[in-house]
Chain A
Amino acid sequence: MKKSLSSFIKIPSTLWNKKWLGVVLVLGLSSCEQLLKEEPKFIVAENFFNTAAEVEAATNAIYSPLRSTNYAVYETSLECQADYAYGRGSWAPLHEHQGLNDANISRVAGLWNAFYLSIRNANLVIQNAPKGKAISPADINKYVGEAKFLRAFNYFQLVRNWAGVPLRTEENMTQIDLRRSSVEEVYTLIQADLKEAETNLPDKPANVGRPSKWAAKTLLADVYLTLGKYTEARDKADEVIKSGKFSLVPIASKADFQTKVYGPELVSTTEEIFYLKYTRQVDQGNYMLWITNHPSTNLFNFGGAYVVYGQTTEPLYKGWNDADIRKSLWEKVNIGLGANTVISSKFADQKAISQTGAGNDDPVYAYADVLLIYAEAATRVNNAPTAQALEALNQVRRRGYGKTPTAVSSVDFVLADYNASTFVDAVIQERAYEFLYLGKRWLDLKRIGKVKEAIKAAKNVNVADKHLLWPVPTSELNFNKAMDPVKDQNPGY
């Protein structure tokens, strides 16, 4: 470029040469294609994925679509559908259970996009890492394992809320038109990915927040439980328990929950298995606090939208023992909807730096989950509660009541009181107490086939069939020509 510019500038000295214009034209033409070549100061995909550091940066990008505000919105959307909770304002149709309206359809469409964006980034790693020029086979396995864990994680969310979905893998990631796969096909991929992840992921990852092989086993246990593969679920959960690497954090008060279990300043805890990590940085914090908090609570220094709340008149709240410290995390707050309103104080950060700048991690899979998966799966396999299953359940319960998790206590369930069915019910109930506000209840109710029963009991509402699945976004149906906009839409939409 410089060369040709200077040739332009020389023109005055060659003016008397009548051919000057021709000279300029020739100079211009010969160098113009070079002038028009773009030389950006950023990386293009074609030159990437060569070193371990590059592949790691690409792997990190799989987390971004989940971690942004999306996962908090996802959990809240699920929570508004739970039997014990209500959605406020535009989220209200979720608890009315008659199918999603426009506002919620577009909201869950955003979640679909986020899961698939995360899947695309995983596929890029799975496809490109093995071709890297300066990366060791061990590193390739590690990052591909991480990508497959996250791809399975995303598909697990998709399949449970939308049923069968287009199955995008590294093989077909650029194919615009792709048919909707069956639920079985999706689960087949999830299991295959997780088995590979379980093998290739490290025992202790380099950073807290990346999945370990134990995270893969936990997720696999949850998948098996969902599929009714109770033996496999029990065994995977048992492997995690037996590893001895995890334990519940003992607590003595509500404040302990808010600081030692869900606290904003924790880097990690002994019960962390797979969390989405947040920190007090601009747009790198947990959005859940803003979504759930009410400005009057003083739990969060940036107000809040209080979109999900409970009522003290609901069966779950009424039946909840006051001695359970976890109950106190439902706080009575007058948000203008009457004196019986309760909202969660599980997450608190008074030193957040913005609406999206709270430090609390999102405990997607904690040790309590492993214990309760084990308790349920073992009971179902045995067709009766086992001592080990009882111990698993009791550990969670004891901690909830402020007791030492591993020591026998006055609040323990007693084996003799339960058969398989009532014990599973108790486990499911314990999951509700333990995972309040984490978006697990609705999926649990769907999994055990008790959605309609539970909602009817709590709210006296008949759940419409269409409410059981979220609609496939029109942004998919309109532009994916391998899907039929009518036949491939979920029922009722």
Chain B
Amino acid sequence: MQKNGRTKAFLLKAMRMTVTQLAMLILFCGLASARDTKAQEVLNTTISLKIEAVEIKRVFSTIEKQAGVKFVYSPNAIRADQKVSLATTNKLSEVLKELLQPLQISYEVVGSRILLRKKMPEKAALSDEISTPVPNATVPSDQVVKGTVVDNEKGEPLPGVSVLLKGTQRGATTNPNGEFSLSVPNGDAVLVFSFVGYEPQELVVGNRTQINIKLKVDTKALEEVVVVGYGVVKKSDLTGSVAQVKSKELNSFPTANVLQALSGRAAGVQVTQNTGAPGGGVSVRIRGTNSIQGSNEPLYVVDGFPTTGSNPTILNNVDIESIEILKDASATAIYGSRGANGVVLITTKRGKSGKTKVDFETSFTSQTLIRKLDLMNANEYATFYNKQAANDNLAPYFTQAQLDGFGQGFDWQNLVFQKAPMKTTSLNISGGNDKTQFSVSGSFFGQDGIIKGSDYKRYSLRTNLTHKVSDKFSVNLSTTLSRLKTDRRDSEGGSRGNSMISAAISAPPTLMPYNDDGSYRVLAIAYPFVATDLINPLNFINEQTNRIKANRVLANAALIYNPIPEITVRISGGIENADDRTDNYTTRNYINSLGRASVSTTQQTSLLNENTISYNKTFGQGHNISAVAGVTYQDFVTTTLSASGTGFLSDIIETGGLGSAITPGIPESGYSKSVLLSYLGRVNYNLKDKYLITASIRRDGSSRYSEGNKWGYFPSGAVAWRVSSEEFMKTIPFVSDLKLRASWGLTGSQAISPYATLNQLSSFRTVFDDALFTTFSPGTRLPGNLKWETTEQKDIGVDVGILNNRVLLTADYYIKNTRDLLNTVVLPSSLGFTSTIQNIGEVQNKGFEFGIDSRLFTGAFKWDVNANISFNRNKVVKLYGGGDILTGNVNVVVINDVTSILREGQPIGQFWGYVEDGYTEKGAIKFKDLDGNGTITQTDKTYIGDPNPNFIYGFNSTMSYKNFDLSLFIQGVQGNDLFNVSSIVNTMDYGFGLNMPREVLYNHWTPSTPNAKYPIISRNTTTRVSNRFIEDGSYLRLRTIQLAYNLPLEKWGIKWVRSAQVYGSGQNLLTFTNYSWWDPEVNSRGGSNSTIQGIDHNSYPTAKSVTAGLRVSF
């Protein structure tokens, strides 16, 4: 932008172009000046050095750290071990001059890279420097070849390029004008041109004596690597569908669960917060729902360790370097029987050699209820129930005098919900030298819930250590220790105010929570018409505790052996351990309670041993093979213990002395173990960076399945064609990268729990005399022979880079077919066994995903935008006997029915119910008699909604100018339906004194308003699972907006701080939705195994929040 001349030139050119091209130009107008500006910026960076006889390579790495640059040089040309001394604080350009001139080294800045070259003595046109392995003078001269080597992009001559006669030690380097001269034996000779930062090239001399060659900048060197299962690959070499989310995005706002930070960040990944409770669960669906019986959550792999459990709660977001999401079978098949739902690879931060770096971050957030429901006030409430009484021919409940005196009344939402703080702090120290690198961090996350008494705290200590024992051996250790502590107030669901959330909206505004003597008011007897279920929410808030304390350990150590550079042998062992203890106590003050206490503990331990060998070699003319093979063992042991007691003399004891209970409960314990034994292998073949082939296979043996069905094979294959590397594409410089991908593979799902195939007897108790006796009997599920669920996935995709990769586009189309689906098969109930599980059934998911990543402006004003959108369609292809599976039972007194259906040909979890058809002349709801038999029966049910979204999307914008960064992140879901179970009772269950939204009072049926939203206010109103409760769950949400200011430390002359940033941000400040209840991001039944999505049943509501934070680096 600074160079007006250039911009003008561009605009002049632009006038001659087509409209499209013009549009493109305007979009990317920041492009032109980018590189020069960057170079200037880099050279103006202030560097501070104080060194005494230090190897120059160490000096380079110091400068790299300070200036954020990368030195590129050929060790042949520049001796990295020569020692220098220097003490200065100056601009980089000056420092380089001071440092390099005496050494006869010149430099050139390309982006953030600084290319170093040996300065040529002016006279020496042909080189015979030390860098030339063998001086050409000693070689018999048969034929002399001369030529020039220039840069592919700028056409500038490249000095210092090594020109080698292939297969010999004979060679030369180019002079400052890029010229070389070399004698070769004959025309068959092959010359190899190589220079750091450029792609090597080979050429047959033939009968030429003059060879001019262009070296191509090695863009791959600039590109990041992507973590895949059992290895890393360069992004450009990927053949599968993998999405990457970086730490900056993960850390842009505080979340209790790192998965919440993934929401909207990657195409094809749907993240739904099940509840707003602190530390509440999150459902993740990658490319749809595959399984009816088993988990639909992806496998989470932390630093190579496949963890148990559906949410990785051990880590704080700041500990994470990147998250890779493996989506297609080519990427996930290496995880075999656990890959069907996708794989999420989490990589924690590692140390880098160089100056020790200290990063400190802290933030403070204030959260409030996202919005209050607009409920009736006291006067409206009394009016409303008098109407009900009148409609039901009862005497009015309230007199006119009472009505007049009520006014606004008491706001129960204000009693239950509060403004709550959330704090995060982390300190990370990282660094190291050539031999050892380390990263140590401690962090704290503390969130108070917006419901009084609820909170979630996590303390976490993490160490990553890498040490090079010798040239051939290195070791690597990563450990994370976390302590989780949460107090929960998650009395959700329920009806008529028998859960806290339900009570918060149902309690009569005419009543205060306390009696005059300070005791809790018993709402159920406050008025004769009030539901007996209605409980004063203070009971849940003050008289019930549910505290979970958990210690989590994840430790993984690896020994790495490189017998030769091409081979890496890795032996690793790891432990994951989770010790959870839950303490529940209900005081004697709780309604109808004698004091109830229970303690339960769960210990889960997983041991992992992985042994892999990988091989990476480039042969001949651009053949690259990398391969990995391995054997892994992982076991999972869970033990549980629980005890309880009822009836306590004092509340002081809480869970501290179960033995003092008047009625001690029966202790319970459990044990389960499963083993997974696997063999895996993968080969990547890369021909000239144009043709990429990947094939992998995993053989998994699982103890969970029946004899003879324990082993499964999970192969995959993928091909990619990097079209942009083809000659014919060179003529289209607009397209800087173009890759077509196709993959196929099989993955599995461990959809059953251990011992599911055994005929287990369970023990319970029964009573004789007045005492307990033990019973042993089978459960109601008949064990059957079971094998894997298998998902076959096909994916085709394209990656496009435009304008030197300034705009990157990714598009994928996939089809996933899951077969041998484990399905509950219902047995005749007279059998005593009511169900069994069989491998029957098929589900299909298919869809499109698009992602765009662009750097719109790269000058002083930087603007990066990335966006993604994905469309998934799923359907049930086959079920046992073609029969429907009705699921999602909802029991809220006025309705006790199922909400959802699984039916062949239909999407998973469609809502299933009656269709309303206006009102009768008396104001009762009419339902459509779809089967026309004159009565309303179950056969009148139909599809009334679909919880699967049409598409999901995310949009992220990051702008920076001078010291300011502004980022905003928008995320949304479109076209999904929600089943608002909360509203069944609180808008339709009249006559039990429950408070309701104001609109029920002002918009109900009367003879003069026959088309009102709600029926007549009468306790005889009947309702059914109907389309009334289905609402559009689409939303667009400003998930976060952040303004950050980077303190101008330089200006202030502060040297001891590397960088400092203060920021303010807001989360969930704006949500566009038509949903009537608290928030459309809700999933009350969203467990990992659930096929029931989109239910809102008095869930802990979401919060909106504002954050202030500080990030400092020393």
- Residue among A57, A302, A357 facing the most chain B CB atoms (10 A cut-off): A57
- The CA-CA distance from A480 to B829 in the complex, in Å, is 9
A63 CB–B CB distance under 8 Å: yes
Binds A, one of B10-18, B226-234, B666-674: B666-674
- The CA-CA distance from A109 to B830 in the complex, in Å, is 11
A116 CB–B CB distance under 8 Å: yes
State which residues 598-623 of B face A: CB under 8 Å.
Answer: 607, 609, 611, 613
Q: Which residues of B contact A303 (CB under 8 A)?
A: 524, 532, 592
Please determine whether A295 and B609 come into contact, CB atoms closer than 8 angstroms.
no
Which residue of B759, B769, B831 is within 8 Å of A207 (Cβ)? B769
- The CA-CA distance from A121 to B675 in the complex, in Å, is 32
Please determine whether A37 and B703 come into contact, CB atoms closer than 8 angstroms.
yes
- The CA-CA distance from A14 to B772 in the complex, in Å, is 58
* A57 and chain B: residue at smallest CB distance: B776
Please determine whether B592 and A301 come into contact, CB atoms closer than 8 angstroms.
yes
A416 CB–B CB distance under 8 Å: no
Please determine whether A38 and B758 come into contact, CB atoms closer than 8 angstroms.
yes
- Known A-B contacts A284-B765, A478-B826; the reply to A302 vs B592 at CB < 8 A is yes
B782 to chain A, nearest CB (A): 9
Q: Which residues of B contact A28 (CB under 8 A)?
A: 631, 633, 677, 679
- The CA-CA distance from A279 to B646 in the complex, in Å, is 14
Please determine whether A57 and B775 come into contact, CB atoms closer than 8 angstroms.
yes
B840 to chain A, nearest CB (A): 14
State which residues 1063-1100 of B face A: CB under 8 Å.
Answer: none
- The CA-CA distance from A353 to B758 in the complex, in Å, is 36
- The CA-CA distance from A301 to B647 in the complex, in Å, is 13
Which residue of A48, A207, A478 is within 8 Å of B773 (Cβ)? A207
State which residues 114-147 of A face B: CB under 8 Å.
Answer: 116-117, 119-121, 123-124
Please determine whether A46 and B759 come into contact, CB atoms closer than 8 angstroms.
yes
Q: Which residues of A contact B757 (CB under 8 A)?
A: 38
- The CA-CA distance from A58 to B647 in the complex, in Å, is 31
- Residue among A24, A38, A46 facing the most chain B CB atoms (10 A cut-off): A38
* B779 and chain A: residue at smallest CB distance: A117
Please determine whether B771 and A166 come into contact, CB atoms closer than 8 angstroms.
no
Which residue of A119, A177, A284, A354 is within 8 Å of B832 (Cβ)? A119
- Residue among A42, A178, A476 facing the most chain B CB atoms (10 A cut-off): A42
Please determine whether A173 and B766 come into contact, CB atoms closer than 8 angstroms.
no
A490 CB–B CB distance under 8 Å: no
- Residue among B631, B768, B772, B830 facing the most chain A CB atoms (10 A cut-off): B830
B749 CB–A CB distance under 8 Å: no
- The CA-CA distance from A279 to B666 in the complex, in Å, is 14
User: 0/1 per residue, A1-35, Cβ < 8 Å to B?
Assistant: 10011001101100110000100110010001101
Which residue of A5, A46, A302, A353 is within 8 Å of B633 (Cβ)? A5
User: 0/1 per residue, A94-125, Cβ < 8 Å to B?
Assistant: 00000000110010010011001101110110
Which residue of B631, B703, B831 is within 8 Å of A116 (Cβ)? B831
- Known A-B contacts A64-B775, A116-B829, A208-B769; the reply to A90 vs B896 at CB < 8 A is yes
A445 CB–B CB distance under 8 Å: no
* A306 and chain B: residue at smallest CB distance: B532
A341 to chain B, nearest CB (A): 13
Please determine whether B644 and A38 come into contact, CB atoms closer than 8 angstroms.
no
Please determine whether B826 and A44 come into contact, CB atoms closer than 8 angstroms.
no
Please determine whether B703 and A280 come into contact, CB atoms closer than 8 angstroms.
no
- Residue among A9, A102, A117 facing the most chain B CB atoms (10 A cut-off): A117
A414 CB–B CB distance under 8 Å: no
A270 CB–B CB distance under 8 Å: no
B613 to chain A, nearest CB (A): 6
Which residue of A120, A277, A357 is within 8 Å of B833 (Cβ)? A120
Which residue of B629, B666, B776 is within 8 Å of A54 (Cβ)? B776
State which residues 163-217 of A face B: CB under 8 Å.
Answer: 165-166, 168, 173-174, 176-178, 207-210
Number of chain B residues whose Cβ lies closer than 8 Å to a Cβ of chain A = 80
Please determine whether A25 and B758 come into contact, CB atoms closer than 8 angstroms.
no
Q: Which residues of B contact A119 (CB under 8 A)?
A: 830, 832
Which residue of A33, A279, A476 is within 8 Å of B829 (Cβ)? A476
- The CA-CA distance from A357 to B666 in the complex, in Å, is 14
B636 CB–A CB distance under 8 Å: no
B537 to chain A, nearest CB (A): 18
Please determine whether B609 and A45 come into contact, CB atoms closer than 8 angstroms.
no
Q: Kindly state the interface size class of chain A when it binds its partner.
A: 35 or more
- Known A-B contacts A40-B758, A209-B768, A284-B767; the reply to A479 vs B592 at CB < 8 A is no
B657 CB–A CB distance under 8 Å: no
B1012 CB–A CB distance under 8 Å: no
- Known A-B contacts A35-B703, A43-B776, A106-B896; the reply to A279 vs B938 at CB < 8 A is no
Please determine whether A60 and B774 come into contact, CB atoms closer than 8 angstroms.
yes
State which residues 813-841 of B face A: CB under 8 Å.
Answer: 826-834
A20 to chain B, nearest CB (A): 8
Q: Which residues of A contact B754 (CB under 8 A)?
A: 38, 40
* A66 and chain B: residue at smallest CB distance: B766
State which residues 641-692 of B face A: CB under 8 Å.
Answer: 644, 646-647, 662-663, 665-666, 671-675, 677, 679
Q: Which residues of B contact A12 (CB under 8 A)?
A: 559, 561, 571
Inter-chain contact total with CB atoms closer than 8 Å:
234
- The CA-CA distance from A302 to B760 in the complex, in Å, is 35
User: 0/1 per residue, B521-550, Cβ < 8 Å to A?
Assistant: 000110011001000000000000000000
Q: Which residues of B contact A268 (CB under 8 A)?
A: 769
- The CA-CA distance from A209 to B766 in the complex, in Å, is 10
- Known A-B contacts A60-B766, A277-B767, A301-B592; the reply to A43 vs B532 at CB < 8 A is no
Q: Which residues of B contact A45 (CB under 8 A)?
A: 759-761, 778
- The CA-CA distance from A228 to B704 in the complex, in Å, is 55
B584 to chain A, nearest CB (A): 13
A319 CB–B CB distance under 8 Å: no
A134 to chain B, nearest CB (A): 16
Q: Which residues of A contact B695 (CB under 8 A)?
A: none
- The CA-CA distance from A57 to B763 in the complex, in Å, is 9
- Residue among B525, B633, B665, B770 facing the most chain A CB atoms (10 A cut-off): B770
* B669 and chain A: residue at smallest CB distance: A41
- The CA-CA distance from A201 to B609 in the complex, in Å, is 59
Please determine whether B776 and A178 come into contact, CB atoms closer than 8 angstroms.
no
* B571 and chain A: residue at smallest CB distance: A11
A449 CB–B CB distance under 8 Å: no
B254 CB–A CB distance under 8 Å: no
Q: Which residues of A contact B766 (CB under 8 A)?
A: 60-61, 63-64, 67, 284
Q: Which residues of B contact A244 (CB under 8 A)?
A: none
Q: Which residues of A contact B831 (CB under 8 A)?
A: 116, 120, 168, 173-174, 176
A296 CB–B CB distance under 8 Å: yes
Q: Which residues of B contact A113 (CB under 8 A)?
A: 829, 834
Please determine whether A282 and B677 come into contact, CB atoms closer than 8 angstroms.
no
B38 CB–A CB distance under 8 Å: no
Q: Which residues of B contact A354 (CB under 8 A)?
A: 596, 646
Q: Which residues of B contact A278 (CB under 8 A)?
A: 767
Q: Which residues of B contact A9 (CB under 8 A)?
A: 573, 609
Q: Which residues of A contact B524 (CB under 8 A)?
A: 295, 303
B569 CB–A CB distance under 8 Å: yes
- The CA-CA distance from A42 to B764 in the complex, in Å, is 13
- Known A-B contacts A8-B633, A36-B702; the reply to A42 vs B761 at CB < 8 A is yes
- The CA-CA distance from A281 to B664 in the complex, in Å, is 8
A267 CB–B CB distance under 8 Å: yes
State which residues 785-836 of B face A: CB under 8 Å.
Answer: 826-834
A475 CB–B CB distance under 8 Å: yes
Please determine whether B761 and A282 come into contact, CB atoms closer than 8 angstroms.
no
Please determine whether A120 and B828 come into contact, CB atoms closer than 8 angstroms.
no
Which residue of B629, B778, B938 is within 8 Å of A102 (Cβ)? B938
Please name 6 pairs of A and B residues whose Cβ atoms are closer than 8 Å in the assembled complex, sorted by A.
Answer: A1-B635, A11-B611, A38-B704, A60-B775, A102-B938, A120-B832
Q: Which 3 A-B pairs have the closest CB atoms?
A: A120-B832, A61-B777, A480-B828
Since A61-B777, A478-B883 are in contact, a sample of 16 more A-B pairs with Cβ atoms closer than 8 Å, ordered by chain A residue number, is A9-B573, A24-B611, A25-B631, A38-B757, A38-B758, A42-B762, A44-B759, A57-B775, A60-B773, A63-B775, A67-B767, A116-B832, A173-B832, A278-B767, A279-B772, A281-B765
